[in-house]
């Protein structure tokens, strides 16, 4: 019997697109019955430092991207409720036709100002932002250069183009430059694409070096700030602020579903760039605009991001406390500087068992395996929040120490 997701992921000859369904469903049901399946756990409360899980009770939440705990913030909820009462539940149309409310324009202005840019456009999701932005700008005789750890939405966006796509080794600027030297003269335009903060490793791209290369070889640079907004930089304004290079990136995209605690995505840049994307990105043109309640809440989120650093400061404290102790214990957490803390195990079954034992200790932690990461990079992916107490984090660290030693991950 097949034992892992990747056993079903491998392409094979078949005469029916449903050929794998029966075997996968059998595997899934068996995994659920033996409690090996740890996905789609049902939450019965708002996500904060703790969460109520059906069948498990209250757990310490380490699996949410709600880093600044703004999803259920009282001011944000009140703003969302006010927008719901005034505008109703849905927008009713795509943004270009009848779905742009005054709230949408206000949020776009907030986001553009946050990044010191002329204009922003908001999309239904971060995923649709990236695929729409890339596919609207790239032509067949262009070259796309992506970091190998780029988010799936960036990679999928390249597949919607007819351009040449090449990958450079993760954060390896020497490899990127070799590709530019070899290929630049063969193409009309070049777009370098990367995450600001990488979603599975929590490390940051070398923006200063990327800027130097894009200028040297007459290329453009696109950065996805999904996991950077609100988290990195002195004021949480992302990778540019972290490197003191505000305004240097050609295209910035991001999501409103991580630190901002809502849903949606955005692209910011010059007026000419954003208006072009708005009118040529199919994922924008043909998608109903964000619901007013979500937009109302997000406007208040940006008020908080602009004026209140207390959430970020508490998160910074938690990051330092937690990562320093993990390194002392001997865990491999890579080069993370963010709220994402990977505990790299390298063995899929061991990773799942460790996540299950953490769950038994009332700790909600995600096991990340192939195809989300390579088969040798299975890991526990921990997401820290500003609202985690020191007591909660120390409990998690104690549990990780015991379980890590049990499975030989640390000594």
Give catalytic residues, as residue numbers.
199, 227, 258
Q: Are 409 and 342 in contact (CB under 8 A)?
A: no
User: What region does 35 belong to: left with phi over 0, alpha with psi -120 to 50, or beta?
Assistant: left
Q: Is the peptide bond before 371 cis (omega within 30 degrees of 0)?
A: yes
Beta pairing partners, 197 = 204
Residue 82 neighbours by CB under 8 Å, 6+ apart: 296
Q: What is the SS3 assignment for 277? A: helix
Six-digit token string for 119 = 């204009």
Q: Are 326 and 333 in contact (CB under 8 A)?
A: yes
Q: Are 163 and 193 in contact (CB under 8 A)?
A: no
């Amino acid at each position: 019997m097949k034992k892992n997701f990747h056993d079903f992921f491998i392409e094979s000859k078949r005469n029916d697109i449903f050929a794998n369904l029966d075997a996968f469903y059998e595997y899934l049901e068996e995994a659920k019955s033996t409690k090996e399946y740890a996905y789609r756990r049902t939450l019965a409360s708002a996500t904060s430092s703790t969460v109520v899980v059906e069948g498990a009770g209250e757990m310490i939440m380490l699996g949410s991207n709600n880093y600044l705990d703004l999803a259920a913030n009282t001011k944000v909820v009140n703003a969302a409720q006010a927008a719901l009462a005034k505008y109703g539940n849905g927008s009713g149309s795509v943004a270009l036709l009848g779905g742009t409310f005054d709230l949408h324009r206000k949020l776009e202005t907030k986001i553009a100002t946050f990044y010191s840019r002329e204009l922003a456009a908001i999309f239904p999701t971060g995923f649709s932002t990236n695929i729409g932005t890339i596919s609207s700008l790239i032509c067949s005789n262009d070259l796309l250069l992506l970091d190998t750890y780029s988010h799936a939405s960036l990679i999928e966006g390249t597949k919607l183009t007819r351009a040449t796509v090449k990958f450079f080794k993760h954060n390896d600027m020497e490899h990127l430059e070799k590709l530019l030297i070899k290929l630049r003269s063969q193409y009309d335009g070049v777009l370098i694409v990367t995450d600001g903060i990488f979603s599975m490793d929590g490390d940051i791209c070398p923006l200063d070096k990327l800027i130097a290369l894009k200028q040297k070889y007459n290329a453009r640079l696109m950065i996805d700030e999904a996991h950077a907004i609100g988290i990195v930089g002195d004021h949480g304004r992302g990778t540019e602020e972290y490197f003191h290079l505000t305004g240097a990136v050609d295209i910035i995209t991001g999501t409103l579903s991580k630190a901002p605690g809502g849903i949606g995505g955005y692209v910011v840049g010059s007026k000419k760039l954003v208006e072009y994307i708005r009118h040529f990105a199919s994922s924008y043109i043909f998608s109903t605009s964000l619901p007013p309640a979500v937009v109302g809440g997000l406007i208040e989120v940006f008020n908080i991001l602009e004026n209140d650093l207390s959430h970020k400061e508490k998160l910074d404290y938690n990051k330092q406390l937690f990562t320093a102790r993990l390194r002392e214990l001997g865990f491999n957490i890579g080069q993370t500087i963010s709220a994402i803390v990977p505990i790299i195990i390298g063995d899929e079954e061991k990773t799942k068992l460790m996540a299950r034992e953490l769950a038994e200790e009332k700790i909600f932690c995600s096991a990340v395996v192939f195809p989300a990461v390579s088969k040798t990079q299975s890991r526990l992916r921990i997401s820290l929040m500003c609202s985690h107490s020191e007591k909660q984090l120390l409990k998690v660290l104690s549990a990780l120490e015991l379980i890590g030693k049990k499975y030989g991950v640390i000594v």
